Amino acid sequence: MGIINLLPENLINQIAAGEVVERPASVVKELIENSIDAGATEIIVDIEDGGRRLIRVSDNGWGMSREDALLSIQRHATSKIREVSDLFNISTLGFRGEALPSIASVSKLRLTTVPKGSTFGTSIRIEGGKELEVIDSGGPVGTNMEVRELFFNTPARLKFMKSTTTEMSHITVTVTRMAISYPYIRFIYNHNGSQIYNLPSSKDLLSRICKLIKEDEKNFLEVSLNNGDTFDSTNNSPAFGSPYLLKRGLGGVVKVSGYISGPEINRPTNRETYIFVNGRFVRDRVVLHAVMDAYRTVMEKDRYPLAFLFLDVPPMDVDVNVHPAKTEVRFRNTDEIHRAVYAAVSEALKGWTARKGGVSSQELGVRSYESERPHYQDRVSEAIEGYSSNNKSPLAPPFAKRGYGGISPNGQLPTHNLEKTGFFSSLQVLGRVGETYIVCSRGNDLCLIDQHAAHERVAFERLKSIRDDSTPASQALLIPETVELNPSETGLLQDYISVLTKAGIELEHFGGNTFVIKAVPAILSRKDVKGLIKDIVDELAHMERSQSLKDIMDRLFSRMACHSAVEGGDYMDSMEIQALLRDLDSIDFSSNCPHGRPVFVMLTQLEIEKMFYRR
């Protein structure tokens, strides 16, 4: 006699409900999504007691026939997909056909619906998944879903419900996200009979946003990266570490639009960074990271902007079937998404500095430089070119790959060739500020170098040269280090051992979850090897398997470079600074830089004079 049973349908639904219906707000989300998918232009949400007593969502969408209404509460019943290929081309918010049966299995549900073109409809009553009543009903076209006593039959879940205020605030967050994503839909939202939102249908996204979050429209910048424009990472300006040239028609189509706050309007958490992918609110690490990267030079550390970003990605380039509640997506090409978002947000931020006009004391330096960015790039290129022609040095050093640098691939400081040659070496070092920025002058101009970014950039280029030369310049560790990982990390690292060997890291699986690290690239040999491996595993875990070997290696190198670089705040003596400047001269600035951050900024005499209103 076997011990395995097939579970009854209702139990299956309750199990699914465990994932889909976490709390009242999840019900609200699923119901509103269904209304939107049904073409509603008006959605009314009524809540009682934080959703414990009642969640009612009514819409003026196209409704359901009786046959469909009865099917809609069956598991895996959906009108939105039919075959496997549809799964890779989803344009609706729902598609799993799980929400209604899950909700129905853990509540007392009344579904009333009148289909388009009809004056009468159907009303169905279900309790804990049991169909109790199917009757005729009248009313306007649309659907009305009433969910009462959520979790009444699952005491364990009921216990996990938080206070009315807490559940209520989750519902408000949900309604807010939906209302931002669909400004043309009229939303009415009431709690215990009092009105919380009454949002008229609007074409104006910004006015809807500002109504909801109670901010002033003038604090926002429009983001708009047009359809078909993609960012060309292979052609960034040589002297400037931060690439955002837009080129039409390269790669896939990503459109980024929406609004972001100027840097002075910020928050202590990233909770008000809203990301919508094809209309769906999602939390996405890659997009968040790109947004923060774009703000990095203009916003204080540990502060976050308000951002409302809409990404339009071809449905086949994004997998929405990753998470039961559909709050995560998987992009086919994360790098492209990162670049597009970074480019879009950076562009918008330029508008902010331009709009601010004059220079206030607070905006001296980085911010005024931001507004000058385009000319600035030209000027630096000119400066470097001018320099090299005057100095008869072989080619303009930052553009030419040369075999020389303060830190050579084998990690030794060179003793030869110490005379000053390149652009960076020709700078006069005045000192350091903020324990991070090297302050230099060049004639009457001022130059600030971010020591960490510069170091990271140099290390990245050195590591990349390992990839290009086929002989890895790795250095055996005197005492091999052992690293313990967890089982999933172990599997991951095993898969990538040969790639890591190419990247100069020699390691062996020692059995169990233990690895022995035998050699690492020379420039990393004196660093914390365990930490390095952990970082690499983390990078691998967030990497897409479909990436090319080159992309994988670049990401690894970028992570390794960050690991090897001096931190902002680390002390550097003048010898080290000089070595770093020489290193900068030896690298090829025309290539892609790891994080897209500027390595240095330049303030010309003219700019300085303008700041003091002398011009």
H/E element, 442: strand 437-442
User: Residue 347: which of Mg ion, ligand ADP, none does it interact with, CB under 5 to 8 A by kind?
Assistant: none
* Residue 61 within binding range of Mg ion, rule CB under 5 A: no
* Residue 34 within binding range of Mg ion, rule CB under 5 A: yes
Dihedral angle sign, alpha carbons of residues 208, 201, 291, 600: negative
Q: How far is the C-alpha of 83 from the C-alpha of 81, rounded, in Å?
A: 6
Q: How far is the C-alpha of 526 from the C-alpha of 396, rounded, in Å?
A: 32
* Residue 35 within binding range of ligand ADP, rule CB under 6 A: yes
Q: Which of these segments, 57-65, 158-166, 365-373, 570-578, binds ligand ADP (CB under 6 A)?
A: 57-65
Q: What is the DSSP letter of 270?
A: G
Site string for Mg ion, 86-125 (x = CB under 5 A): --------x----x--------------------------
* Residue 123 within binding range of ligand ADP, rule CB under 6 A: no
Q: Order of strands across the sheet with 428-433?
A: 428-433, 437-442, 445-450, 600-603
Residue from 13, 14, 60, 78 that binds ligand ADP (CB under 6 A)? 78
Find the binding residues for ligand ADP in span 130-159 (CB under 6 A).
143
Closest CB to ligand ADP among residues 37, 456: 37
Q: Which of these segments, 31-39, 338-346, 414-422, 498-506, binds Mg ion (CB under 5 A)?
A: 31-39
* Residue 63 within binding range of Mg ion, rule CB under 5 A: no
H/E element, 495: helix 487-495
Q: Give phi and psi for 441, each to the nearest 5.
A: -120, 155
* Residue 64 within binding range of ligand ADP, rule CB under 6 A: yes
Q: How far is the C-alpha of 424 from the C-alpha of 442, rounded, in Å?
A: 9
To the nearest whole angstrom, how small is the minimum distance from the Cβ of residue 79 to Mg ion?
10
Q: Which of these segments, 44-52, 94-102, 365-373, 444-452, binds ligand ADP (CB under 6 A)?
A: 94-102
To the nearest whole angstrom, how small is the minimum distance from the Cβ of residue 198 to ligand ADP?
21
Cα atoms found within 13 Å of the Cα of residue 255, Cβ hemisphere only? 10
Q: Which of these segments, 47-55, 61-69, 175-183, 258-266, binds ligand ADP (CB under 6 A)?
A: 61-69
Distances (CA, A) of 590 to 458, 504, 587: 13, 24, 9
What tokens appear for 278 in the block?
């094809």
Closest CB to Mg ion among residues 27, 503: 27
Three-state DSSP string of 527-552: CCHHHHHHHHHHHHHCCCCCCCHHHH
Q: Give phi and psi for 266, each to the nearest 5.
A: -145, 175
To the nearest whole angstrom, how small is the minimum distance from the Cβ of residue 321 to ligand ADP?
11
Distances (CA, A) of 186 to 146, 169, 180, 439, 557: 19, 20, 11, 55, 50
To the nearest whole angstrom, how small is the minimum distance from the Cβ of residue 9 to ligand ADP?
14
Q: Which residue is nearest to Mg ion (CB)?
A: 94
Residue from 13, 14, 26, 34 that binds ligand ADP (CB under 6 A)? 34
| Residue (of 225, 181, 183, 457) closest to 349 by Cα position | 225
Closest CB to Mg ion among residues 24, 241: 24
* Residue 238 within binding range of ligand ADP, rule CB under 6 A: no
Q: Which residue is nearest to ligand ADP (CB)?
A: 94
* Residue 464 within binding range of ligand ADP, rule CB under 6 A: no
* Residue 41 within binding range of ligand ADP, rule CB under 6 A: no
Residue from 41, 65, 79, 118 that binds ligand ADP (CB under 6 A)? 79
Q: How far is the C-alpha of 31 from the C-alpha of 375, rounded, in Å?
A: 52
Q: Which of these segments, 98-106, 183-191, 347-355, 549-557, binds ligand ADP (CB under 6 A)?
A: 98-106
| Burial (CB count <10 Å: 0-12, 13-18, 19+), residue 207 | middle
Q: Give phi and psi for 599, each to the nearest 5.
A: -90, -35
Positions in the binding site for ligand ADP (CB under 6 A): 30, 34-35, 38, 59, 61, 63-64, 72, 77-80, 94-100, 143
